[in-house]
Structure 1
Amino acid sequence: MRGIAEACQRLFLGTIQRKLVFAFLFVIVLPIVLSGILSIGLIQSSVKSKANIGNEMALSQAAAQVERVFRDMLIASNTLMLDDEISGILTDSSKDDPTERYYTSSVMNSKFFNIQTSTLDYYPNHFIAVIDRSGSMYATFPPESGASDALLGLLKEERVPSNANYLQMSGSSHLIDYAPLGQPIRYIVLTRAYMELGNGKKLGDIVIGMPESELAGILRELGAEQGIGGYVINEDGYIVSSSNEEQIGSLLPYADELKRAKAGFFELKDSRVIVNVKYLDRLGWSVVQVVPDDVLFADAYSIRNSLVYVNALFLLVFFGLSFFIARSLSKPISNLNKATERLAAGHLETRVDVLRKDELGKLSLKFNKMAAQIHELFSKVNEEQKTKRELELKMLYAQINPHFLFNTLNSIRWLADASKVFNVSKVIVALANLLKSSILSKNEWITVREEIENVKNYVTIQKFRYASLFADEYDIDDDTLDCGIPKLILQPLVENSIIHGFEGLERQGLLRIRVRREDERIVVTVSDNGVGADPERLKEIAEGRRASSGKFSGIGIANVNDRLILHYGSEFALGIQGEPGEGMRMTVVIPVRTLTPEEDGHV
């Protein structure tokens, strides 16, 4: 009880949306559902009552037609039994004589023809056979057809008495080769003892076969096209004939219920079918009609579906109105919630649209004011941090007296020139220019021309150090020279090729530097013909895990990649390719940028 009370309290005292849902369920949905269920129940009950009357009449007609087939077969056998000439032929021992045999066969064929035209004329493909005590057979099919042996086997299968009088219909259908059609046909067989009327002595057996298709045609009239099943079953519940030939010979699934019902109809709710049965006392058979619920209540289901569609349309309209009202109340709150989450995630520029003048509108205005104050505060803090970092950097630069350093290098250069050691002089000039660009220039941005000059100065120093280890080539588009590029972007790439690419190389290395413009982008390629690298080593280089004490700036490949992403975004990350023994190739792609006067120290 306490749990129910708490649930009701949440419904009545909860949000407006919950109250609307509660009212909808109990005021609109529940009556519609209950009325629909009641209507469908009444319709199904009426349909079932009327259908049972019609099905019972159809089943009675089908049972009468099955009995008529049996009756015609019985009349044919009676005609044979009452014929004295046939009785004389069966008792005559001289029929083994060929001449006599031909005569008796002619007489029997005449007798069969009379019965076929008078009694069995409506049933095509039937057969009549009379077998005497010695196994000699007279039949409506040729002796050479092979059916004679099949009939003898059939008598054994039907377990007919050898001396006693009997009359029985087969408990199953039999496949027999019918010569005129050249293919086996499934037959329902009547077997009967041929008894001598005077002394009651058995003279032979009568076998009359009727195609099972005759019964199947009757059963199809029960509604096979609509999915209604029709069956003739024996006393044990096995199917003798069916509107579906594949089921013949199998046990009817409802055989146990049929034995208890005997006649009438009953409903199997588990199988969702209604079964009508008519028991044929003389034959030991039952005619069964099985009507699936889907067929019986097809019209009711159609009405039910129509009601469902109409009700569903009505509910959709009501839901739409309810959703519109609830959304007009909940959307501003949801927008405020999302804006709060974005603000908490660091998106300080987040604001909400103020479209209302009620309490929710006032709340939105206050949120925007608070977000603006937070944004202003963070901007001030970031500006202070930036100023602090610039002061720290200036302090680091102040630790080196650039003028002292350059004066010393110039003195060394003069000594080298005086001693006519011009290679040393060239290296000192290159080093001085490189240091001047990296130390004295405080700008983060320089031109491509200046960056290439820095690279050439660095290569000059490395050539002096490594003698004839490598050669260098440059392919620079003129329209890229005055474009802006972050300082010291290319030098680490060149340094990687010299230190790691040419290390242990048995041939002279070749360093290629190419700069070209593609639309609004500049593509810089630094490649070599060095030792190359496998995927693992490429990963180590990209992550800065292959440090070297001989580096000039201490700015590694990983730092170059981080700076590119910082300036331009992840789509402009550094590209690294290489294969063992085939050299390496590093690609820098940056947008075209024109330097401002503040960025270009030469302006």
Structure 2
Amino acid sequence: MIKWLKRLLFEKVSTKLIAMVLSLILLSATFISMTYYGSSVSIIGSHVRASTKQGAKQTADYLSLMLTVGTDMGQQIFRNTRLQEVLNQERQGHLTVDQQFEIKDSVGQTLNNTIYSSSFVRSIYILRENGESWGSGLFNASKVKRYTLSGHEWYSDVVSDKANELWLPLGYDPFSGGGDDTELVLTLVDAFRNLKTKQTEGVILVNLDGQLILDAVQRIQLGKSGTWRVVDPTGQVLISSDSEQWGRPLADAGLAERLASQNEEIAEFQTKLNGEEDYVVSVRMANGWRLVGQVPVKEIIGDIVSLQRRVTMYTAMFLLVALLVGLMFSTRITHPLKELTRQMKAIENNNFKARSRIRSRDEIGRLSLRFNQMAGQIETLIREVEEAGTRKREAEIRALRHQINPHFLYNTLSSIRWMIKLGQTDNAYKGIAALVELMESSMGKASVFTTIRQELELLDKYMVIQRFRYGEGLSLETSAEEETLDFEIPRMLLQPLAENAIFHGLAPRDGQGIIRLDVRRQVHPPAVRIAVADDGAGIEPERLATLLRGEAEENRTGMLGIGLHHVQETIRLYYGPGSGVDIRSEAGRGTIVTLTLAPKEE
């Protein structure tokens, strides 16, 4: 089972093709999903924040207006002429009971008339430690008597002039009605002074409608569980929908410090509370308080997360479809390659009747077609060699053998096959394309001769294939005079020289090096000189001497002798006196093979 899995994962081209397709789809889907998710979060988040800030700003302005009305009411009561007259009457003393009742009714009417001028104000009280206390509406004087006013910090601070005025947190009015906690109010405590004596007689309580304030704050939409609070510069909560927070400092000390350091009118930031990321928006009110909203970030982008799950589900479905398509696609790719490889092995075993079935018109189909043509030509030429036996036909069949050497094709296809196995599909397709072009160029004409220009182009295609085997460190540099490019030479005359330079010069050095090919016209005597040089390992002196004497038998082993013998025979066959092959080599420095091609005399 383990061996089968290893073969499936590491030796099957189809598995790697499917993995490649699935990986591309997965990467694409993930990239698109993440990009869409990030963009959606940014867009929706910005819209939510803009809407929230706008609502918070409007509410902060509304609350600031209410506080301003409360402050103005306190000043109006403090400077009321009738109330100042009452203080002066009390200073004179000896008030009768009727006068006291008249004062109480008069002050109550004055306070009632004042609160009727604004819907924000629920009640106004004047509280004194020494003397009568008055109030509007349902003011209960008996409740005042239960309190020791001087025992309350808010009363003592204002009466002792430590604070000119102060605001109490949202709470229930303790001096109203017959029961307790009957009315929710936000209270301003202001000093009640005698303008004549400048002495503080008590305090003025202006009670704003607490329920109206809470409704205004709770109308701001902030997710599903978002909360709003009003805090003073010290971090004390003055207004909140949670009554347990009234008058207490913010539970998150870090949040309180950050709010205190904010100088902007409207600020927004994210903070962690109990390990959860929260979005916070803060708007400064006219008196320095801040309206603060807080909500978990996930609530703002909750719909986007749901959409992300759906995208993930659709991606999984697409991957399943891609798996099926990949199986079909890989089968169409690998099956022809496997069959072509089997036919290559048959050719290697001298079965030149081997033919590959053509299943498509793409590069693989074209390669199969060229292979079939190659096999047919090889079979025909071998038959001609066996029948004719002339030197010319022998030279041609050797050229054809070098041109379409089954070992070369087999090695090339094996390299392409390994590229596909290793996931190098781009290089594999480039190798197939180069091999197809090489075979098309080499088999496109029936003529034995071609131009140097075409031969160099063919050599470039050959080098492309060799680079896939030896790497980019293998290079070919050509230099040819323009007037020599149309000079005709036998086909595949230069490839054996390049092949020898690679296999015997550069291959011992890991296939790294440069082959330089130079083509020049010789004036006296008229000829074309072609020099092929490499910077490889060179040829041993004993071997070089043998080659220079032309002692290269047909049964020798090794490509060096066969290739040079083919070139020598071809030159002897087609060119005149003065033509030949010259070899100069130095061990460790490289080899230079020079061909001199002089035309035959007519």
- Measured against the shorter chain, the TM-score band is 0.3 to 0.5
Instruction: Kindly name which structure, 1 or 2, has the bigger radius of gyration based on alpha carbons.
Output: 1
Q: Which structure has more RCO (C-alpha within 8 Å, separation ≥ 6)?
A: 2
Q: TM-score, normalised by structure 1?
A: 0.46
